Structure 1
Amino acid sequence: MKIYIALQRIILSAFIAVPKRIPVGGQAVIEGVLMKGPEHWGLAVREPGGSIWLKAWLGSDWLKNGIWKYPIIRGFATMVEMMRIGMRALSISAEISLGEEDKISPLEMAGAIAVAIFAVAGLFVALPMLVSEYLTFLLGLTHLSKNIMEGILRGVIFVGYVAMIGLWKDIQQVFAYHGAEHKTINAYENDAELTPESVAKFSRIHRRCGTSFLLVVIFVSIIVFSAIGGGSLLWRIGSRVLLLPFVIGISYEFIKGASNSETWGRYCIMPALSLQYITTREPRLDQIEVALAALDLALNPEAAGQDSGGSQLEIDG
């Protein structure tokens, strides 16, 4: 059961992490929210007793140095960093929200990660590829048609998967915190009063959401993989693995440009934004309170220690 819970969160983290370095970004975790400020991370989790557990740490600065700061490369590097920090936050939030009795051991978490990797690879990579290969054999599709079909299948599977897990009560709770995170960031970026009542009036949809990013990745992959020519099934698998960092980097730059545009960008990412109506829920005021606590901690790390005994400030080496 504990591995099942961990597996849910690991797979879900790939769909809700915000994949770019921005002044303020965030991710929903178990009974809480992770926020990223200019320099610090802030994690706020609702404890079983009702209090808010806080943790802040200084982010690593390797993304600002060397080749990692250049266009396209920075996109993949930022995704790796967000996944690393997101997994850490999910693990911590699981321990806090589930309590000592349901605490997930490192071995159980490692097992859940391994299962998640194989599940994602099979569901979102292998299955669309094999189905498109079969349809190509059956219908005599061209190389371009095969790649378009593969991309469409991957998108349909992704949307269907997100919609399906959204039926589970535990995931609905995470989606509500996802909505709280978006509302809080929208309020902050509009210089609104940062109270639960004020934040609740804002939209739960946000341009920089990781859900939108993943749909853009699917679209970009169709273009990139169609351009490299055909080949055997082994070649197709290998080329997708090798070109994945490039696809992610291109998608990152597109989202970055679209997020800063009030004209073309708004319309280009509109289909991707609509998916957030599935991956978010309207949050309660107490959930918004947690998101606000995480934001305050990310922007004001010296505030660590003002809440429960678990509150602390760490340096992430």
Structure 2
Amino acid sequence: MEGIMMKNGDKYAVAVRKPDQEIEVKVEEYKGIIKNKKIKSLPVVRGVFSFIDSLVLGMKTLMYSADFFMEDEEMEPGRVEKALDKATKGKADSVIMGGTVAFSVVMAVVIFMMLPYFLAGVLRHVISSETLIALAEGVLRLVIFAGYILLISRMKDIQRVFMYHGAEHKCINCIEHGLELNTENVMGSSKQHKRCGTSFLLFVMIVSVIFFIFIRVDSPVWRVVIRLLLIPVIAGVSYEFIRLAGRSENKVVEFLSKPGLWMQNMTTREPDESMVEVAIASVEAVFDWKAYLAENFNWEYPREDMVSQAPADMADPTGQADPAEAEGSSPAEAGA
């Protein structure tokens, strides 16, 4: 929809360009499904829970932004909506959100994990090498993923989401390169970012290939079970790499980050200035970028109340401490 969500710590902001062209900004807290900070800081484990949080929060903000356009069209709730609202005692939105997230996860597992496995399984009639079959499964998974992104990128509404996605990246790149956060500087910044959710999802595909090459069982049933059980682990490992990529200038890490950046050419588009204004409004609602620039780039501002702070956690797909986005077009990324 016509908006962007940014998250900093437990606070997040949703900025939406309403039909009357005004920007509405909402700031709320979201502490996640796991409140224990020790658990949330465990390597690999934190990636699993943070990814789930990003799905829930992404869907929540998506529904919030959609409400503005439903109100503009003056749509009356139908019989099904009224019945559901009555049956859930006014919690229909929460039920719908939970059901949508669950359905999205199931479909993602079926399309991107199980379908490639069964398609590659056909090769067992002509190939005896399990390594080659695992590689074929990985190639099919990457092809299906890229094909899916390419297909949805042709949809007009998704193209606008991808433009907001680009505005989000540009906004964060502007800050991280020590530039004042204004429309001109943001428009001149890159629309690619190493901690993007697109890079995370692509690396999930790549890590799954590595796992399934070395983890083998003879039973077809156990092959399916193991693939399902390893999904959280694969997501956690992929998250750790994306987190590292956002902090490291190592040449090897830079090289491994390239495929994700290339994939972002499909999931981000150049935004217009009105979209950049929405992104800036979202950032400023939860992140003191002036204090960040003052601390990290020695910028000076005539403010007596300036408080030094660490970078915001708005960049990676799961919300760790870095100034970037909470990812969108899918519930894991930022275009609300």
Q: Which runs of 5+ in 2 are unaligned?
A: 82-92, 289-336
Which of 136, 160, 163 is 1:149 aligned to?
136
Describe the shift of the 1:115–1:69 C-alpha distance in structure 2 as closer, same or farther (beyond 3 A): closer
- Secondary structure at 1:286's aligned position in 2? helix
Structure 1 runs of 4+ with >6 Å offset: none
**Matched residue, 1:94:** 66
CA deviation digits over 1:110-138, x for unaligned, max 9? 6655653443233212211111001222x
**Matched residue, 1:80:** 52
Does 1:123 pair with 2:107? no
Residues in 1 aligned to 2:41 and 2:216: alpha-carbon distance in whole angstroms = 30
Q: How many residue pairs are counted as aligned between the two chains?
A: 270
**Matched residue, 1:43:** 14
Q: Which amino acid aligns with 2:264?
A: Q
**Matched residue, 1:284:** 272
Describe the shift of the 1:117–1:63 C-alpha distance in structure 2 as closer, same or farther (beyond 3 A): same
Which of 37, 43, 63 is 1:71 aligned to?
43
Residues in 2 aligned to 1:142 and 1:63: alpha-carbon distance in whole angstroms = 46
Q: What RMSD over aligned residues (CA atoms) do the two structures have, in Å?
A: 2.1
- Secondary structure at 1:275's aligned position in 2? helix
In the TM superposition, residue 250 of structure 1 has moved relative to its aligned partner by 1.0
Does 1:163 pair with 2:150? yes
Residues in 2 aligned to 1:121 and 1:249: alpha-carbon distance in whole angstroms = 16
More deviation in 96-105 or 246-255?
Answer: 96-105
Contact 1:33-1:45 at 8 Å conserved across structures: yes
Contact 2:195-2:245 at 8 Å conserved across structures: no
TM-score by length of 1: 0.79
CA deviation digits over 1:4-47, x for unaligned, max 9? xxxxxxxxxxxxxxxxxxxxxxxxxx110000123410110110
Residues in 1 aligned to 2:42 and 2:168: alpha-carbon distance in whole angstroms = 28
Residues in 2 aligned to 1:103 and 1:93: alpha-carbon distance in whole angstroms = 17
Describe the shift of the 1:251–1:113 C-alpha distance in structure 2 as closer, same or farther (beyond 3 A): closer
- Secondary structure at 1:269's aligned position in 2? helix
Residues in 1 aligned to 2:98 and 2:242: alpha-carbon distance in whole angstroms = 32
Contact 1:181-1:291 at 8 Å conserved across structures: yes
More deviation in 273-282 or 51-60?
Answer: 51-60
Q: Which runs of 5+ in 1 are unaligned?
A: 1-29, 301-317
In the TM superposition, residue 141 of structure 1 has moved relative to its aligned partner by 3.8
CA deviation digits over 1:249-292, x for unaligned, max 9? 11111122222221221111101110000001100000000000
**Matched residue, 2:190:** 203
Q: Between the two proteins, what is the percent identity of the paired residues?
A: 37
**Matched residue, 1:52:** 23
Residues in 1 aligned to 2:75 and 2:113: alpha-carbon distance in whole angstroms = 33
**Matched residue, 1:258:** 245
In the TM superposition, residue 149 of structure 1 has moved relative to its aligned partner by 1.1
In the TM superposition, residue 197 of structure 1 has moved relative to its aligned partner by 1.7
**Matched residue, 2:298:** none
Residues in 2 aligned to 1:102 and 1:157: alpha-carbon distance in whole angstroms = 36
TM-score by length of 2: 0.75
More deviation in 63-72 or 252-261?
Answer: 63-72
Q: Which amino acid aligns with 1:167?
A: R
Does 1:235 pair with 2:222? yes
Q: Which amino acid aligns with 1:295?
A: V
Describe the shift of the 1:41–1:103 C-alpha distance in structure 2 as closer, same or farther (beyond 3 A): farther
Contact 2:60-2:97 at 8 Å conserved across structures: no
More deviation in 287-296 or 57-66?
Answer: 57-66
Describe the shift of the 1:111–1:243 C-alpha distance in structure 2 as closer, same or farther (beyond 3 A): closer
CA deviation digits over 1:60-87, x for unaligned, max 9? 1746613231111111111111111111
Residues in 2 aligned to 1:63 and 1:110: alpha-carbon distance in whole angstroms = 19
Contact 2:4-2:279 at 8 Å conserved across structures: yes
Which of 206, 231, 242 is 1:219 aligned to?
206
Residues in 2 aligned to 1:110 and 1:73: alpha-carbon distance in whole angstroms = 22
Q: Which amino acid aligns with 1:142?
A: S
